[in-house]
Amino acid sequence: MESLKAKINKTKLPNHIAIIMDGNGRWAKKQGKPRVFGHKNGVNSVREAIEACAEIGVNYLTLYAFSTENWNRPKIEIKTLMALLVSSLRKELKSLQKNDIKLNTIGNIKQLPEKAQKELEEVVKKTKNNKTLTLTLALSYGSREEIVNVIKNISKKVVNKQLKFEEIDEKIINNHLYTFSLPDVDLMIRTSGEKRISNFLLWQLAYAELYFTNTLWPDFKKENLFNAILDYQNRERRFGKTSEQIENINE
Ligand code: IPE
Ligand code: IPE
Ligand code: MG
């Protein structure tokens, strides 16, 4: 494992990694266990991903933990996921502090059970001055809902004359997203073999490199993340330019 980590070029790290942590249910099913067993084991992979990012110096990690669409799952599964969120926050606070990690959330947090909201609020408050890594949990998050809210809030400002219609640009839109304080995503990883975005960060992923792996989330460990980063480092990000322009960037 150390050798994989050593291969990573520290000067070319993705600044912001976002992960769709998928495949917990299938992981459990494969072992003849109930789906929630997968979610419970998925928590260990969350810890590994956070530690891996902190170890190598990635600044932003965003994890898709619960989507707006996930509210349509069986009640018992939702209940377990919410309980798991509360217990994990309680358990991990110490290690977030120790590793200088700041917790942030995106999504319709008010829709979460009261207990989860309280716990989140507390951890966000206690870690707000930490600087090494910003960990963002996407909870009750849907990108389309986020964009609808942006349009509503900007329209309101225009109607109230706090903002001129001509002033609306990409920066203004950025500043109204849940992710206003975060940079664009550089690397988006999805586990479990599904190749779709599932309503995650549609605006923010505009120029992200996408990495799909068949590994199910509970099996995704530090070395899997290092592999994804190595793959990312072998790509050429052109942002619409030509390869020649990119090669001559320092001339
Ligand atoms: C991802 O795993 C976690 C959440 C959506 C909360 P899944 O629960 O979607 O696992 P699969 O896709 O059914 O295997
Ligand atoms: C996306 O996974 C949401 C999270 C990982 C939290 P899903 O498993 O809910 O996605 P779909 O519905 O299969 O696309
Ligand atoms: Mg899934």
CA dist list (Å): 82 to 52, 65, 235: 25, 10, 37
Q: Is the CB of 126 under 6 A from ligand 1?
A: no
- Looking at every residue in the chain, the average pLDDT score rounds to 97
pLDDT of residue 249: 72
Answer yes or no: is 176 within a domain: no
Answer yes or no: is 200 within a domain: yes
Q: Is the CB of 199 under 6 A from ligand 2?
A: no
**pLDDT class of 250 with cuts at 50, 70, 90:** low
Residue showing tokens 């001129």 = 164
- Whether 1 shows a pLDDT value over 80: the answer reads no
Question: In this prediction, what percent of the chain has a pLDDT beyond 90?
Answer: 97
* Overall average pLDDT of the 203-222 stretch: 98
pTM for the whole structure: 0.97
- Whether 251 shows a pLDDT value over 80: the answer reads no
Element (H, E) at 61: strand 60-67
- The whole domain housing 19 covers 11-141+184-250
Q: Is the CB of 189 under 6 A from ligand 2?
A: no
Answer yes or no: is 202 within a domain: yes
Q: For this structure, is 186 an active site residue?
A: no
* Overall average pLDDT of the 19-48 stretch: 98
Give the whole-angstrom CA distance, residue 226 versus residue 142.
28
Q: For this structure, is 22 an active site residue?
A: yes
- Residues constituting the chain: 251
Answer yes or no: is 63 within a domain: yes
What letters, b where the CB count within 10 A reaches 16 and e where it falls short, cover 106-122? bbbbeebeeebbebbee
- Which ligand does the CA of 198 lie closest to? 2
CA of 217 to the centre of ligand 1 (A): 9
Answer yes or no: is 178 within a domain: no
Q: Is the CB of 37 under 6 A from ligand 2?
A: no
Answer yes or no: is 164 within a domain: no
**In the chain, how many domains are there?**
1
Q: Given the residues 59, 70, 174, 227, select the one marked as catalytic.
A: 70
DSSP string computed for 8-60: S-GGG--SEEEEE---HHHHHHHTT--HHHHHHHHHHHHHHHHHHHHHHT--E
Alpha helices in 70-204 (DSSP H): 75-98, 114-126, 143-159, 170-176
Answer yes or no: is 171 within a domain: no
pLDDT of residue 10: 97
Q: What is the CATH number of the domain that holds 54?
A: 3.40.1180.10
Answer yes or no: is 4 within a domain: no
Over residues 116-172, the pLDDT tens digits come to 999 999 999 999 999 999 999 999 999 999 999 999 999 999 999 999 999 999 999
pLDDT of residue 217: 98
CA dist list (Å): 100 to 13, 59, 95, 131, 244: 19, 11, 8, 6, 40
- Which ligand does the CA of 20 lie closest to? 2
pLDDT of residue 2: 62
Nearest Cα to Cα of residue 190 among 63, 77, 73: 63
